[in-house]
Amino acid sequence: MLKEIVIAIQSWGEAHHFILKHKLWKWVLIPGLIYTILFVIGIYFFGRSATDVVGYITHILHLGDWSQRFHNSFLGFLFTFAGITIWLTLLLFYFSFLKYLCLIIGAPVFAYLSRKTESIIENNESNPGWDAIWPEAVRGIKMALRNCGWQTVYLVALLFLALIPLIGWITPLIVLFMECYYYGFSMVDYGLARKQFSASQSTHYIGRHKGLAIGNGILFYLMHVVVIFAPAYAIVAGTLTAHKVKGN
C-alpha cells in the first residue's frame, strides 16, 4: 500500500507540471470555484451547528452529571476529550457531504478534464465531445452516491465509537483516512472508466489498491491551503495514476 500511496503522491507533482504545460487553468478554476463556494458555506453552517450538536449529545448522555457526581478530574478530562473527538468527527462528516456535493455538481467538468488529460497523454489534443463525456459524468455521479451511502454508514458507526474514552480518540484519524480513500476513489475511477473497467471492476481494483485512492485523497486535503486548486489537481492526478498503473 505504501508504494501505491507514493505513486499517487508523485502523480500530484506531475499533475502540476501537466496543467502548466498544457494551459488547463480554465478547467482548474471552474470546479475550484464550485468547491470553494461549497466549502465556505459548509464551514459557516458547521461553525453554527457543531457546538450545539456536541452539547446536545453531552446532555442526552448526561456526561456532565457523571463528571460532577464522581468529582474526578481525570474523568472530566476524558469527557472533555471525548467532546473534542466528536467535534473533529463532525467536522470531517461535514467535509464528507461537501465533497460529495462537489463530486455530483462538478461531474461533467471532472469527466471532461479527465478525458482531456487522457487525450493529451495519447497525443490527441482534440477536445472531447459531450457524447463521450456525459456517460462518464453519469457514472461519476452514481459512484459518488454509492460511496456516500457506504461512508455514511461507517461515519455513523464511528460517531458512536467516538463516545468511548481512550478508544474513541483514534476516531478522527480513521475518519480522515476514510475520507481520503473515498475521494481518491472517485478521482481514480474517472481514469479507469476509459480503460474499459466497469463500475464493479473499478470498485474491485481500487479495493485491492487502496493506496492509490488514499494517496490522492491525502494530497487533496493538504491542497486546502489553496482550496481553489484542490478538485482539478485531484482529477488530473487521478487520471495520471490510472494511466500509470493500467497494466497492473
The residue type at 236: V
pLDDT at 130 over 90: no
Q: What is the pLDDT of residue 50?
A: 63
Mean pLDDT of 114-131: 80
- The secondary element (H helix, E strand) that includes residue 207 is helix 199-208
Greatest alpha-carbon pair distance for the chain in Å reads 72
pLDDT tens digits, one per residue of 14-73: 999 999 998 888 888 888 888 888 888 877 777 666 666 666 666 665 555 555 555 556
Predicted structure pTM score: 0.81
Q: What is the pLDDT of residue 143?
A: 93
- Please give the DSSP secondary-structure letter assigned to residue 128: P
Mean pLDDT of 144-148: 92
Separation of alpha carbons 2 and 9, rounded Å: 11
DSSP 208-220: H-HHHHHHHHHHH
Q: How confident is the model at residue 160 (pLDDT cuts 50, 70, 90)?
A: confident
Whether the predicted pLDDT of 225 surpasses 90: no
Section 158-182 average pLDDT: 82
Do 88 and 172 form a contact (C-beta atoms < 8 A)? Answer: yes
Q: What nine digits make up the cell of 34?
A: 464550485
Classify burial at 75, counting beta carbons within 10 Å of its beta carbon; exposed 0-12, middle 13-18, buried 19 or more. Answer: middle
pLDDT value for 145: 93
Secondary element (H or E) of residue 14:
helix 2-21
Average pLDDT over residues 111-122: 88
First to last CA, the chain: 14
Domain edges within the chain: 2-42+85-244
More confident residue, 77 or 197: 197
